[in-house]
Structure 1
């Protein structure tokens, strides 16, 4: 269920393996999604496993991040350490998601659009049928295995028992598009010093991602917890941010196509699996708590889930798989993100960090999801150690 990056990637893997795949989405394609549109090197690596990197041949080739704040600027290239490529890209979700689902159909997946899941039938923990509401009436589908990839709100996940826990950091984000004479730059712009309409510091950041066609995606994101909710009027803050970056990015018109979203992050959900069903991607809160990035996790969890569909009972196997791959990193990242909900913490760390290229290179590696369990360098070992300690302190570990 769901034909975004997670659902379509899973459909590609399964259809290529000879499975009978039905891809279902509530929208008609192409359709938009609130997103920064950025593809990190980790996402590029997953697209390579799908054989889809040629699709990016005429898209921007992003070399790294250009970070701003507190009077300093640092350009940090992607590490390119061999495990991941040394480049990223940016593609509007309206185009990217459509390309993925068309690839799924080209390798044998069937698709129903405009169909919303409204109910499920279950027997001994397994989903035996999903009821879909369409423009022409209701339809019942009887899946052997069900992958739920219906996004951050996950309406089908809620029916199945998914619960979002807001005691750890979550995100709120707003995005728009603007025409730009600098849309071909090879850097993603990121402003770590985000301020509100009255100039007050906010616990978040701003971004400008070049799309290479005379257009940039620009947005703002803020962090919050249930104890420290973010009272941010996103559109005014985004318009103020557009004014701030207008000269640097040579914006030629006011931002358009504003959209916003709430982002569960860091595995802050429970109820992610049953006997024959799994939540993947955003539906499972597989979103980096430090920057809101989720496309790479969507593509990865799709691949991991596709490899497990023959297991007789996924109830424990899937959350254990997610914790094995992401648990320690998510725990550490969401604990750090919780600290960053304090605006003065952001300023204290940012002023020091932006004046140290070596430190910012480490930060980019963490924020870009570029540390894996296989990495054995000092930063990777330190990050895993912090994550393991953080997990021991968690009252509710990721995906629990």
Structure 2
């Protein structure tokens, strides 16, 4: 534990000094956790280094599973008036096919909302449930007792330093997870991770019912890349235009995101009736598929992006964020020590699918694999339906059809041979 330095935080009555549950990070994962914790009656503090609303590098797309998770949180009417996305318009190798979201218990529609709006809306929902917000306040260290339990979290706001006592700590501070690193979290890049860039542009098709996804992604020199491009309609006159690539420690993504993104935007300009060049370009690295260790301790847990709960096949993580926020609060009532219980729960919920998806994503980091699978696949609507179902995280343990059984069997088989299973 590092001793706090600098002046103490002033005795401001509005600043929380203690909480039953302290949630670090007010993105979808942290805000969802705070909403659930406050609704359970726990005194809950939601802390974030940023002032809201704030931006987050993301494709802004919501799969049906993410929409379902918002409803389960209680935000049943939030998406009223937002885009109702029927599925994906897939492009590549001279072919185009529209694939509706497969039938599932999550519902038939996805959506898309800019993260400046979505994250702030979930945060405000948590405050309405009774959580207390500490914005512009960064968690930098912890004080632990002899058993390893966190007694308090050291925070900084401006040039001042202070602490918040906490009975339970939920860490949801994103892909870099500053506090997670303090607690020992390690990101293992031997499995596939994502490199992504996004932008916004005006569009005459901003009210489209289809998300655009281009599986044949090339750089300005025409070289095929192990990734895909997307165009997600936001329903407000703009679209989110982005590119993502897969990489591993052995096969890092050797690409300059800005020129690739600008090249891709030029490629889809006519198709999406873009009325402006890409703006607000931002990029991020994404640990995926549970490729982190040390995700829990006696009275703390990592959730969402901090725990690498991101789909290895498409970089999507909002549904996992909302789900792990709920799961973490439910575990608080069942577990006195989360050190083994939380990673075990994450593996039970996501481990099999992540094992299969991580292996598939690893294969896709080899550019030659992409056309071998993509060229014949995109001409088969049935096969593309399977791809959308897997990439959209729309398979559950309750599904008993052939595709679901095959995907689970592959994941279970691969887990037996993994040297480092998800979340370990």
Structure 1 residue 204 and structure 2 residue 227: aligned? yes
Among 102, 106, 111, the alignment partner of 2:128 is 106
Give the distance between the partners of 2:238 and 2:273, measured in 1 at CA.
11
Partner of residue 109, structure 2? 87
Runs of 4 or more, structure 1, over 2 Å off, are none
Does the aligned pair in 2 maintain the 1:286–1:298 contact within 8 Å? yes
Does the aligned pair in 2 maintain the 1:286–1:294 contact within 8 Å? yes
Give the distance between the partners of 1:351 and 1:16, measured in 2 at CA.
50
Per-residue deviation, 1:117? 1.0
Structure 1 residue 293 and structure 2 residue 320: aligned? no
What is the SS of the residue equivalent to 2:77? helix
Q: Deviations over 1:303-355 (max 9, x none)?
A: 10010113210000000000000001101101110000011101110111101
Q: Deviations over 1:224-280 (max 9, x none)?
A: 000000111000000000000000000001010000000000000000000000000
Over aligned residues, Cα RMSD in angstroms? Answer: 0.7
Partner of residue 97, structure 1? 119
Partner of residue 192, structure 1? 215
Partner of residue 344, structure 1? 368
**What is the aligned length?**
399
Structure 1 residue 359 and structure 2 residue 421: aligned? no
Matches within 5 A, 1:320-399: 320-399=344-423
Does the aligned pair in 2 maintain the 1:80–1:87 contact within 8 Å? no
TM-score, length basis structure 2: 0.93
Q: Deviations over 1:183-217 (max 9, x none)?
A: 00000000000001100000000000000010000
Give the distance between the partners of 1:13 and 1:106, measured in 2 at CA.
11
Partner of residue 254, structure 1? 277
What is the SS of the residue equivalent to 1:249? coil
Matches within 5 A, 1:172-251: 172-251=195-274
What is the SS of the residue equivalent to 1:23? strand
Does the aligned pair in 2 maintain the 1:63–1:186 contact within 8 Å? yes
Give the distance between the partners of 1:173 and 1:207, measured in 2 at CA.
11
Per-residue deviation, 1:53? 2.8
Partner of residue 173, structure 2? 150
Structure 1 residue 30 and structure 2 residue 53: aligned? yes
Structure 1 residue 66 and structure 2 residue 85: aligned? no
TM-score, length basis structure 1: 0.99
Does the aligned pair in 2 maintain the 1:117–1:133 contact within 8 Å? yes
Give the distance between the partners of 2:290 and 2:100, measured in 1 at CA.
28
What is the SS of the residue equivalent to 1:177? strand
Partner of residue 78, structure 2? 55
Give the distance between the partners of 1:209 and 1:382, measured in 2 at CA.
30
Partner of residue 120, structure 1? 142
What is the SS of the residue equivalent to 2:151? strand
Deviates more, 1:127-136 or 1:288-297: 127-136
Per-residue deviation, 1:136? 5.4
Deviates more, 1:132-141 or 1:223-232: 132-141
Structure 1 residue 14 and structure 2 residue 21: aligned? no
Does the aligned pair in 2 maintain the 1:44–1:53 contact within 8 Å? no
